Structure 1
Amino acid sequence: MSSSAHPSRIALVTGGIGGLGTEICRQLATAGCRVIAVDLASRDERVAAFHAEVAGFDGAISFEAADVSDFDRCKQLVERIEQQYGSVDIVVNAAGITRDASLRKMTPQQWHELMHVNLDGVFNLCRNAIEGMLTRGFGRIVNISSVNGQTGQFGQTNYSAAKAGVHGFTMALARETARKGITVNTVSPGYCDTPMVAAVSPEIRAQIVAGIPVGRLGSPADIARAVAFLAADDAGYITGANLPVNGGYFMSF
């Protein structure tokens, strides 16, 4: 089964200028999509670096600034993209933050800030993109969860709750849209070679790798390939699924 996309598909990737988001943009562009990376405009250096990293795609990948935690901004974003590029066919919700603390030390602000981005952001974008998908009878939504949404993680009651909630959202929306040519799926990455993991001590990192059956951290490309597979036109019989990409770190039936 090929994982090609229709050559004129418009794909919107939130968190699109992060390490994982950039690689998702690349994979979708390679599959023939017109890709719009969505992220905060406040990271000027990172935006410039992103443009340099995707320069080889001849304008197939572009950047739009938006705060996914703001419903009205998401509405304006979708309207702007549909006016400028055409219909939003593929949505990848990859925007996410951490606000780690044990529950007894967690502040309401740490809880709410994380929920606004990691869970509200999924609602805000899907709610505004879904109408066009329903009208056209086609859509692919891929929501990025986490292995920690499946297993829980010390110091991450907020993050684990939000990421588990992402897949609950996925399953419910998949049922609502399955007869309309729209699929909704989740990808749950394990521990990947990202700045967040690189920041932990070498001893802790060695412990993490020791617990991964394949014996290495994941790469952004490992995750992005799974996203591109689920976003393809010919992946229409997979919906409401959670695809774990974690090197065997957590296995379930």
Structure 2
Amino acid sequence: MTYATVMVSLALDQPNEARLAVAGELAERFEAAIVGVAAAQFTPPLYFTDGAEAQKLIDEGEASVKRRLAGLEAQFRAATKNRGGHVEWRSAVDFPTRFVLAQARCADIVVSGGQSPAFSDAFALASPKDLVMQAGRPLLVVPDRTNWLDLRSALVAWKDTPEARRAVADALPMLRKARDVTIVEIPEQDDDCSLVMAGVTDVAAWLARHGVTATARISEGARNEPAAAQLEKVAGDVGAGLIVAGAYGHSRFRELILGGVTQHLVTQSTRCVLLSH
């Protein structure tokens, strides 16, 4: 398995340099095509007007969106001009989440920026929360202060669920290139630690058969300590530049209410995070 097409989602009024750098690096590492995508929708004004004045306002707003999307295309092409391989740009005046989700069908992995815990503008930003839960592709979330994909140490946040199994399989190309790989599970209150360790050891053995040498461990944090805090401590201990995790949602109605660890990884992690749902 490899990544043949890397897609990077760009956003208006957001820093895009970090995600462009990491997406370009991924494309180089795996000799992959790189596709840039962006969309935005004209935000209607809060006041009311009608007739010719309303149409003029809409036309001007859409023209402004098109100019700004053209600016993103220029930024994308400047960042990828020396990366080699196939480079493609796709954009539209549309709701960004809807557009990016549709384009994700052509990619093996989607690269996005993180998201502020505060409210975000659905007219200008394809939320990584939406992308990871609905794209059907792994999502690599890149913090704004990152300037490269650090694979010296990778951490797999294991939980015996379909989402975590899918995430490890989706991350195999990157894990094969990592110098050190650690698999950790955070036991819950009533878990038998010996059984938890046996499960993590199984995953390490599976990875070994795919050419990845990994160390198995369980978190030694207090059982009442939040899982996100325990995960960050382990990531710091091993110097992880990449975290691999399953993405979990609590809402069956659109699956937009993320679990605590997933929410933390999308909004507050200082490391690159590969998430699969």
Give the alignment's TM-score, normalised by structure 1: 0.42
Identify, as 1 or 2, the structure richer in helix.
Answer: 1
Identify, as 1 or 2, the structure richer in strand.
Answer: 2
Structure number, greater radius of gyration: 2
